[in-house]
């Protein structure tokens, strides 16, 4: 990889990103995690330069993450030079994706059915969208962001007998059931799968989380029955995702689930309002979460709660199907 060209690409992409979305971080290469494939597109007439880094990731059998992605994962970090009005951004990304496809075609693991090729692209960097579609990639998951202080709608919950409280070690079964319900529902939208081991993995996660002095987990109850669940990572546990945005500190909203018969009556809003109160008081700059772009319940709900797309994850399965 020509370090000079890659640096130029990153510098130019950084200027474009600052203009299209101030909540994006500085563009980065994949660093030591990259597989080392040479994915470099030199500038040509009508097309800026582009650089890419491919990362191969094998998820171990039985891991909880298998609910959210394939076992064999191939990720492209794609960077394209050019300002927001540059007409050749799509052509450069198109060329880069073609080189990545050739690289993946030579990797035996990309032929396996339980494999995926994925690209995380800034949601507002719209000049790349047509190229991503042309290669058969589908926009399935969004990383959404809510800057601190945005108003959260409120509902008169007491009248309907819903109470929000912190969860503790006695709530493992309710927390597990509601967490599994999110996976079950999200299966409709293409990138999530409820495995036979998923319920055990969620129970173990609940046991570990609820053993903390402050698990940042809340239950909504009606008549003493748990009807909704919210789990969040406070800033000291959200380091793993902090680099996706320019602001700090960040928190991560990991799970929101409402029992099917209870949806649409304000339970989700009540749980999110409780979290936002706590986050805004703690001086958290942004809250991040993932949601399925095709989920007709969560996409409008998060928009109403003050979240908007920051990154879009484009993917295709199996990885060899990349066009
Ligand atoms: C997404 C989800 C958590 C939202 O929770 P919810 O309790 O249904 O949300 P709310 O009731 O607060 O808001 C949802 C709708 O009810 C409306 N609503 C809320 N309170 C209301 C009230 N008191 N009276 C009438 N309508 C109300 C909201 O305006 C909203 O309207 P919409 O139908 O236009 O979308 C829930 O639908 C769910 O669990 N879905 C399955 C799992 C999932 O998708 N999880 C999110 C993964 S990221």
Instruction: Give, using CA atoms, the residue closest to atom 25 of ligand 1.
Output: 265
DSSP 282-293: TT--EEEEEEET
Whether pTM > 0.85 for this model: the answer is: yes
Instruction: Give, using CA atoms, the residue closest to atom 33 of ligand 1.
Output: 264
- Token pair of 246 as six digits: 């320019």
Distance 77 CA to ligand 1 centre (A): 34
Distance 264 CA to ligand 1 centre (A): 4
**300 within ligand 1 shell (Cβ under 6 A):** yes
**143 within ligand 1 shell (Cβ under 6 A):** no
**271 within ligand 1 shell (Cβ under 6 A):** no
Nearest to 192 by CA among 261, 95, 294: 294
Q: Beta strands 162-166 and 138-147: pairing type?
A: unpaired
pLDDT per residue of the chain (323 residues) written in tens, 0 to 9:
577 889 999 999 999 999 999 999 999 887 788 998 989 999 999 999 999 999 999 999 989 899 999 999 999 999 999 998 889 999 999 999 999 999 999 999 999 999 999 999 999 999 999 999 999 999 999 999 999 989 888 765 554 789 999 999 999 999 999 999 999 999 999 999 999 899 999 999 999 999 999 999 999 999 999 999 999 999 999 999 999 999 999 999 999 999 999 999 899 999 999 999 999 999 999 999 999 999 999 999 999 999 999 999 999 999 999 99
Neighbour-count burial of 317, counting CB atoms closer than 10 A to its CB (0-12 exposed, 13-18 middle, 19+ buried): buried
Instruction: Give, using CA atoms, the residue closest to atom 4 of ligand 1.
Output: 268
CA distances 2 to 84, 90, 91, 103, 198, Å, are: 24, 22, 20, 18, 43
Longest Cα separation, the chain: 68
Nearest atom (ligand 1) to Cα of 155? 23
Distance 307 CA to ligand 1 centre (A): 15
* Residue where the block lists tokens 């409120």: 154
pLDDT attached to residue 33: 87
Instruction: Give, using CA atoms, the residue closest to atom 48 of ligand 1.
Output: 291
- Token pair of 29 as six digits: 């290469």
How far apart CA 269 and CA 275 sit, in angstroms, is 10
Measured on CA atoms in the order 317, 318, 319, 323, is the torsion positive or negative? negative
Distance 298 CA to ligand 1 centre (A): 8
pLDDT attached to residue 156: 58
């Amino acid at each position: 990889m020509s370090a000079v060209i890659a640096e130029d690409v990153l510098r130019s992409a950084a200027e474009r990103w600052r203009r299209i979305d101030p909540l994006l971080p500085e563009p980065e290469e994949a660093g030591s995690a990259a597989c080392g494939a040479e994915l470099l597109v030199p500038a040509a007439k009508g097309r800026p330069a582009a650089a890419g880094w491919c990362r191969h990731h094998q998820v171990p059998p039985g891991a909880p993450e298998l609910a959210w992605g394939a076992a064999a994962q191939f990720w492209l970090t794609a960077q394209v030079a050019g300002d927001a009005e540059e007409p050749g951004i799509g052509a450069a990304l198109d060329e880069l994706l073609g080189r990545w496809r050739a690289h993946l075609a030579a990797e035996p693991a990309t032929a396996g059915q339980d494999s995926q090729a994925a690209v995380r692209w800034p949601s507002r960097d719209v000049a790349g969208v047509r190229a991503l579609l042309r290669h058969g990639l589908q926009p399935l998951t969004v990383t959404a962001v809510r800057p601190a202080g945005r108003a959260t709608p409120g509902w008169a919950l007491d009248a309907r007998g819903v109470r929000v409280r912190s969860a503790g070690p006695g709530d493992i079964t309710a927390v597990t059931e509601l967490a599994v319900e999110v996976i079950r529902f999200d299966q409709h939208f293409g990138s999530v799968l409820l495995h036979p081991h998923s319920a055990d993995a969620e129970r173990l996660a609940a046991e570990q989380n609820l053993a903390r002095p402050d698990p940042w987990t809340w239950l909504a109850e009606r008549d003493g029955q748990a009807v909704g669940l919210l789990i969040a990572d406070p800033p000291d546990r959200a380091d793993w995702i902090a680099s996706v945005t320019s602001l700090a500190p960040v928190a991560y909203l990991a799970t929101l689930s409402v029992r099917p018969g209870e949806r649409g009556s304000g339970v989700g809003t009540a749980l999110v309002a409780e979290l936002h109160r706590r986050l805004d008081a703690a001086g958290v700059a942004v809250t991040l979460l993932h949601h399925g772009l095709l989920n007709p319940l969560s996409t409008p709900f998060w928009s109403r709660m003050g979240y908007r797309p920051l990154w879009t994850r484009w993917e295709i399965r199996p990885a060899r199907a990349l066009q």
